[in-house]
Amino acid sequence: MKKIIAANWKTYKTWEQAQASTQELINLLPQDIFADRDVILFPSPVLLKIVAETVRKSRIACGAQNFYPVEEGAFTGETGMAQLRDMGCTHVLVGHSERRHILHEEEQLIAQKVHFALRSGLTPVLCIGETLTERKQGQVEAVLARQLQSALAQDKDASRLIVAYEPVWAIGTGEVAGPNEILAAHASIRQWLEKNLPTGANIPVLYGGSVKPENCSQILLLDNVNGVLVGGASLESEIFSKIVFA
Ligand code: PGA
C-alpha cells in the first residue's frame, strides 16, 4: 500500500505564508516520490482556495480540517460541502481530538460528517485515539472500537476511507507513542476494520502525534502503519519534505 503523508496545519499561516509553503513543498518533491507516497495538505478553511490552486498542477491533494454535514444552508460560521468542492478539496479530517475535546464535537456529529463526506465523494480521514486516563485504565482497545463503531455505524460499506490513530496524549506534546503502543493500537484497528467492513484490509491507517523527521522512518516501518498525520512538523515545508522522503 502507498504511504500517505498528511499535513495538518491547524490554525496557522496567513494567505501569503500558505502560498509560499505550498510552492516550496512542490519544488522540494520530485515527481517520482509520488510512486510510493500520497501527500495531502489540510490548511485552515480560509487558506483552502490558495492551497488548492497552488497544488492543482502537482500531485499533492488538498483537504479541509472540518465542515458541516450539509451542502449549504443557515449554519453561521460553518463551511458546507458545496464550498469545499468549489475550492478543490478531495479529503476532510473528521473527529480530530482538538475538535472532540476543545470544540466538544460529539460522536453523533462525527458519524454524520463521515456519512456526508462519503456520500459527497470526499474521502474522510477519521481520527480516533484514547486519552492518557483511558490508556492508564487499560481501555485503549475498547475506546478505539467504540469510536470506530459509532463513527461508521451508517457506513459499513465504506471503501473510500482513511483512519488516523492519534493518541490524545501524543498530539502536540513531543511525546510520540512507542513502537509497541503503535503496533498494538494499529493491530486492533485493523482487526476491527477487517471484521466490520468488507474492504477493511485495504483501508489505510495512519499514525499521528508528535511525528518528526527523526522518528518517522521507524514509525512508517511498523506493521499496519500506512502513513502519518503530521501537525507541528508539517508547518515548515523543508522539515515536512523530510517526512515525505522517509
Ligand atoms: P502533532 O499534531 O504532530 O503536532 O502532534 C498531530 C495532529 O494533531 O494531527
Number of the ligand 1 atom closest to the C-alpha atom of 212: 3
Number of the ligand 1 atom closest to the C-alpha atom of 233: 3
Distance from Cα 234 to the centre of ligand 1, integer Å: 9
Active-site amino acid positions: 96, 166
User: What's the pLDDT at 114?
Assistant: 97
How many residues comprise the chain?
246
210 lines ligand 1 (CB under 6 A): yes
Distance from Cα 172 to the centre of ligand 1, integer Å: 5
C-alpha cell at 177: 507513542
230 lines ligand 1 (CB under 6 A): yes
Distance from Cα 43 to the centre of ligand 1, integer Å: 13
Tell me the pLDDT band of 159, cut-offs 50, 70 and 90: confident
Number of the ligand 1 atom closest to the C-alpha atom of 93: 9
234 lines ligand 1 (CB under 6 A): no
All residues at 6 or more sequence positions from 218 whose CB lies less than 8 Å from its CB, including other chains:
179
For 73-122, write each residue's pLDDT tens digit: 999 999 999 999 999 999 999 999 999 999 999 999 999 999 999 999 99
Instruction: For residues 242 and 193, give the distance between their C-alpha atoms in angstroms, rounded to a whole number.
Output: 30
Q: E strand or H helix at 163, and its extent?
A: strand 162-165
- Reported pTM: 0.97
For 206-219, write each residue's pLDDT tens digit: 999 999 999 999 99
